[in-house]
A and B are shown apart, each in its own frame.
Chain A
Amino acid sequence: MLYREAGDFKTSYTSDNQTFPIRFDRYGYYFVLGVAFLVMPLILNDYWTNALVVPFLIYTIAALGLNILIGYCGQLSLGTGGFMAVGAYASYKLMTGFPDLNIIFVILLSGLVTAGVGVLFGLPSLRIKGFYLAVATLAAQFFLIWLFTRTPWFFNYSPTGMISAPTRTVFGIPVTGASASALSMYMICLVFLVALAWLARNLTRGTLGRQWMAIRDMDIAAEIIGVNPLWSKLTAFAVSSFYIGVAGALLFAVYLGAAEAGEAFGIDKSFLVLFMVIIGGLGSIFGAFAGAFFLIAGPVLLKIMLVDNLGWATDLAAHLEIMIIGALIIVTLIMEPHGIAALWRTIKEKLRLWPFPY
C-alpha cells in the first residue's frame, strides 16, 4: 500500500495544483532527478553515453516540443526534421559568427530563431486543418533542407557542404567539438532537458495549455468561448519550434559535431520524432520521455542482439530493425492508441485502488 492517495489531503489550491499530487510520485520524481544528476555521471561509460543516453536526452527535448504542437494543440506537423536543421544551422552560424558568445546562449538563441521560422510556417494553420496542414508542413521540411544544402552562406562556403562545430566551453569545460568528454555532453543535455521539461509542464497546466487543448478538442467552440485561435496556434508553433530548435542545436553542436542538412535532418527525423510522440502518448510530458526512450533504446538493443551477438551483416540487421519498428508501431497503436503514457495511467489507477479495486 505504498502507492496511495487516501489520507493525503489537500488544504490549498496550490497543493492541489502541483505536478505530482500523490506523495509517492513526488518522491519518485526527486529520486529520478537525484540519480540523473549524481549517480549517472559516476556509472556512465562512453559507449552507453554516446549510443543511448545523449540521443535519448536530445530526442526527448524534440519530442516534448512536437508533443506541445500535436498532443496539446492538435496541429499535425511533419516538418520536425527541417526545424531541427534550423536550430543546427542557427547554432553553427552563431558559433562561427560570434566566437565569444557562450554556448548556452548560442543554443537558446538557436531555439528562438527556430521559433520564428516555426511561426512563419505555422501561419497556414489559421486557414487549413488536419492532413492538409500536415502536408503543408512538409513544405517546410523540403524547402528548409533545400535551402541549407543549396545556399553556401549557411555552411560558410565549406567545400564539403558540411557544418562542423568548433570547441566551446561551459565553466572552462569543453562541451562541443572533438575534445568534449561524454560526461560533459551528458550534463549539458540533461540540464537543458530538465529545464525545458519543467517549463513545458508549467505551460501545459496553465492558461496557455488550456487554450491549446481547447483548440485541439474543438476549435470552433474554443473560439466562441474566447480563445483567440491566432494567438494559441502561433504560440504553440513558437514554443514547439523553440524546443525542436534547441534539440537540433544540441544534436549538431554537442552530439554529432558535424552534420549535413539532408543527411542529419531528413524527413526520417520528422517521422522518428512523430513516432516518439505517438508511441509515448499524445498530450503527455511523461509520454515524450517514454516514447523517446522506446525508439532510441529499441534499435540499439536490436543491433546489439543481431550484429554483435548473432554476427549478422549490418545492413541485414538494419532492414529487420525498421521492419520491427514498423510492426511495433502498428501493434502499439492497436493495443493502446494513446501510447505508453495511457498504459502507465491505467496501471497507476489500478495501483491507487489496490488491493480493493471496487
Chain B
Amino acid sequence: MPDTLLFAMEAAANGLTAGVMYALVALGFVLIFKASGIFNFSQGVMALFAALTLVGLQSGQIPFAHLINAIFGTRLHYFGFTLPTLAAIAGTVVVMIVFAWLVERYIFRHLVNQEPIILFMATIGLAYFLEGLGDLMWGAEVKRLDVGIPQGMSLAVDETTFNWFGYGFYMDTLELWAALIAAILVGALVVFSQYTKQGRALRAVADDHQAALSVGISLRFIWVLVWSLAGIVALVAGMMWGAKSGVQFSLSLIALKALPVLILGGFTSIPGAIVGGLIIGVGEKLFDFFMGPLIGGATENWFAYMLALVFLLFRPQGLFGEKIIERV
C-alpha cells in the first residue's frame, strides 16, 4: 500500500474521532433549536464555563476570589481541600442545571414570541455574560484539567494498524476515549428523545408549540430540560477538550466548529448532526492533509464552513431536510 494512502487513512481516522466531538456539540445546538427555535450561540462558552467550574470544584478554588480580593483587599484563593473527580463532575452537572433554570426563568421566559434573531442575539449576550462570569468566578489563567483519562499515543491502535498495514497510526488515547464517551452520549440522547416520555414531549414541542401546549406539555419544563441537556453536552465537550489542551478561552471556539455541522445536517435533524459531524471531522483533516502544504496550512479554521457553504448551494435544505415547498 502506498504511503500517502496510509497517511491519509491515519488523518481520516483522527478526523473521525474529532468528528464525533463535533457531532456531540452540534447535538447540543439541535436540541435547543428543535425545542425552542433558539439558535444558541452560547453553547461554546457553556463548554468553557462547565470546564472552568469542573476544575474549580476539583481543586477547591474559592469562587470570585479575585473579585473579593480586589474589593476587600484580602488574599483568598483556595478552600484548602480538593474534590474527587466524580464528585466534581456531579457538582458541575448541578451547576449546569441551575444555570439552565436561570436562563429560562430570567431570560427566555421574557422573550417568548420574539423573532428568532432577537433570541439569537440574547444568546450572544448570554455568551458574553457567561464568559465574563466564568473568568471572574474562577480566574482567566490557563488551567490544567485531569479527569483520569490517560494521554499520549495509543499503543493498541499503533500495534493493530502496524499488524494490518505495516504502519502504525498515531492516535491519542484521550481522543479515542473522548470519541467513545461522546458516542455513548450521542446514543443516549437519541434513545432519550425517541423512547422516553420526556423525549416524546420534546419532539411534540419541536413539531408544534401551540399544539403541545394544548395537550398539557409544559413548555417551561421542556426548555429547562433542553438547556440542561445542552449544559451536560457542554460539560462533556469542555472536559474532553480541556483535558487535551487546557481549560482556556479558545475552548469556547469549539462551538464555532459545530456550526458548519448544523448547516450540513440541518438545524433540526439529530441524525444530520451525527453524520454531518463525521463528514466535517474527516473532511477537514483530509483537506488539510492534501491541500494544507500547498496553500499554507491551518485550513481547519475555514474549510468546514466552505464545505458547508458549497454543499448548501446544491442542497439548501441540508442532508436530511425535506425539500422546501414555498407557498403564499
Question: Measuring CB to CB, which residues of chain A are less than 8 angstroms from any residue of chain B?
Answer: 70, 76, 124, 127-128, 130-132, 134-136, 138-139, 142-143, 145-146, 150-151, 220-221, 224, 267, 271, 274-275, 278, 312-313, 315-316, 319-330, 333-334, 337
Contacts and interface: CB of A to CB of B under 8 A. Distances in A.
A138 B259 contact: yes
Interface residues of B, number: 50
A313 B128 contact: no
A271 B124 contact: yes
A145 B111 CA distance: 34
Nearest to A262: B301
Contacts, number: 137
Given A146-B302, A316-B66, A135 B132 contact: no
A136 B309 contact: yes
Contacts of A135: 259-260, 262-263, 305, 308
Contact of B256 (A138, A220, A333): A138
B118 interface: yes
B125 A322 contact: no
A1 to B, nearest CB: 36
B306 A143 contact: yes
B297 interface: yes
Contacts of B297: 150
B136 interface: yes
B229 interface: no
Contact of A131 (B111, B116, B299, B316): B116
Contacts of A70: 117
B118 A138 contact: no
Given A323-B132, A323-B136, A330-B107, A138 B305 contact: yes
A124 B309 contact: yes
Contacts of B121: 274-275, 278, 329, 333
Interface in B218-262: 256, 259-260, 262
9 contacts: A127-B313, A132-B316, A135-B263, A143-B305, A151-B296, A275-B125, A316-B67, A323-B129, A326-B125
B86 interface: no
B127 A326 contact: yes
Given A135-B260, A142-B305, A337-B118, A127 B312 contact: yes
- Most chain B C-beta atoms within 10 Å of own C-beta, residue among A124, A271, A334: A334
A315 B171 CA distance: 38
Nearest to B130: A326
B125 A333 contact: yes
